[in-house]
């Protein structure tokens, strides 16, 4: 069952500056992104060919991006493990970047580093964070969302304005089904994609049959224990490599970021999810184990058939002497009379 997310881009007034100069310099284009989920059926019938993803039109200018997670501790609806889920969702982006750059280049993306802190634990390490992550019980059926990321982009420079704020719901919009750790992980991964500068991809399923992380709706049913971890796609990574192409410059960011641009994969990059190596190995091990199980089943069946053949053989062998006798009787029976006559051709 699909859930579509509504995205609203609201242009907000720039924050009031104290001086005219500051006002001019800080003329901000406010972009409010509302990632919401309703229970409208999402179309899963998009053809993956021609998949596109627009960017938000903003970039961070320091490759070290800091994130502070504020757990909703002591709230009855909050699970302590959500903090871990969000932290892992963020660090896993870096792992996917490693796997992607190994395959398709854009090595400079590895300069991106994500420093996560937990409020009340070690948030002083993060100073003034670029991104703040907080939790809410439910967005409610009106906004119908699972996650929301609001960000602002400095006008004409394409630079994100601190802070970007991500809000994650613990319950679905009907406030009846609680997110599993996998759900929380997936929603946090999606929202972090927005915080990095990606908008929504146009397809829900990649060419390899996996979910497109940046599709506007969550492709899995909230609360289902069989849900799987999603990963950024090669399309997401390709767009990201364009947002952060300034990283190739040793002196870092200068000038302006790129305007919002729609990207599609160039030939040579297969469209699929980019799982970290550890998970690729796990998938491989799982398939090897599956293969082992199948070999074991074949071996057991073969052994059974061999045993049956052996038993039949023994039974036949026990019967054989009788048969052999009767046969030998036939053979040993009175020899056909050989007529020896005195008649010769000589």
Name the residue with the smallest CB distance to Zn ion.
35
Q: Least distance to Zn ion from the beta carbon of 200, Å?
A: 6
Q: Least distance to Zn ion from the beta carbon of 165, Å?
A: 14
- Please state the three-class secondary structure of 28-80 as a single string: EEEEEECCEEECCCCCCCCCCCCCEEEECCCECCCCEEEEEECCCCCCCCCCC
Closest-CA residue to 186 (of 151, 138, 219, 159): 219
Q: Least distance to Zn ion from the beta carbon of 121, Å?
A: 28
Q: Which of residues 35 and 203 has its CB atom nearest to Zn ion in the complex? A: 35
Asked if 92 and 280 count as a contact pair (C-beta separation under 8 A), the reply is no
Q: Provide the residue count of the chain.
A: 346
Q: Which residues pair with 5 in a beta bridge?
A: 37
What is the binding site for Zn ion (CB under 5 A)?
35
**Start-end of H helices in 210-253:** 234-243
Q: Least distance to Zn ion from the beta carbon of 298, Å?
A: 46
Q: Which of residues 106 and 212 has its CB atom nearest to Zn ion in the complex? A: 212
DSSP string, 308-321: HHHHHHHHHHHHHH
Q: Least distance to Zn ion from the beta carbon of 190, Å?
A: 6
- Joined together, the tokens standing for residue 162 give 């601190």
Q: Which of residues 35 and 168 has its CB atom nearest to Zn ion in the complex? A: 35
Q: Which of residues 35 and 117 has its CB atom nearest to Zn ion in the complex? A: 35
- Joined together, the tokens standing for residue 165 give 């704020």
Question: Would you put residue 233 in left (φ > 0), alpha (ψ -120 to 50) or beta?
Answer: beta
Q: Which of residues 159 and 168 has its CB atom nearest to Zn ion in the complex? A: 168
Q: Least distance to Zn ion from the beta carbon of 27, Å?
A: 26
Q: Which of residues 57 and 117 has its CB atom nearest to Zn ion in the complex? A: 57
Q: Least distance to Zn ion from the beta carbon of 35, Å?
A: 4
Q: Which of residues 35 and 247 has its CB atom nearest to Zn ion in the complex? A: 35
- In Å, what is the CA distance from 317 to each residue of 238, 307, 322, 323, 331? 71, 15, 10, 10, 20
Closest-CA residue to 272 (of 324, 207, 193, 202): 207
């Amino acid at each position: 069952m699909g859930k579509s997310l509504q995205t609203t881009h609201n242009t907000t007034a720039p924050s009031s500056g104290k001086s005219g100069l500051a006002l001019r310099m800080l003329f901000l284009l406010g972009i409010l992104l509302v990632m919401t989920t309703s229970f409208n059926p999402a179309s899963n019938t998009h053809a993956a060919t021609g998949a596109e993803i627009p960017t938000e039109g903003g970039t961070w200018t320091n490759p070290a991006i800091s994130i502070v997670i504020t757990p909703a501790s002591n709230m009855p609806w909050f699970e302590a493990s959500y903090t871990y889920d969000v932290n892992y969702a963020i660090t896993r982006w870096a792992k996917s970047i490693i796997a992607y750059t190994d395959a398709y280049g854009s090595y400079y993306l590895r300069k991106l580093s994500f420093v996560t802190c937990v409020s009340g634990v070690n948030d002083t390490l993060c100073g003034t964070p670029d991104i703040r992550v907080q939790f809410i019980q439910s967005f409610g059926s009106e906004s119908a969302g699972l996650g929301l990321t609001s960000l602002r982009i400095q006008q004409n420079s394409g630079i994100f304005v601190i802070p970007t704020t991500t809000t994650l719901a613990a319950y679905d919009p009907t406030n009846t089904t609680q997110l599993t750790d996998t759900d929380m992980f997936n929603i946090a991964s999606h929202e972090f994609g927005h915080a990095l500068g990606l908008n929504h991809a146009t397809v829900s399923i990649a060419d390899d049959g996996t979910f497109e992380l940046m599709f506007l709706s969550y492709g899995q049913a909230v609360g289902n224990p069989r849900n799987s971890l999603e990963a950024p796609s090669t399309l997401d990574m390709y767009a990201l490599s364009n947002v952060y192409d300034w990283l190739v410059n040793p002196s870092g960011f200068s000038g302006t970021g790129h305007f919002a641009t729609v990207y599609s994969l160039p030939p040579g990059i297969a469209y699929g999810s980019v799982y970290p190596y550890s998970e690729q190995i796990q998938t491989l091990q799982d398939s090897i184990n599956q293969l082992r199980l199948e070999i074991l089943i074949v071996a057991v069946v073969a052994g059974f058939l061999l045993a049956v053949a052996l038993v039949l053989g023994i039974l036949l062998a026990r019967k054989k002497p009788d048969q052999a006798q009767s046969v030998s009787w036939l053979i040993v029976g009175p020899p056909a009379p050989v007529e020896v006559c005195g008649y010769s051709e000589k």
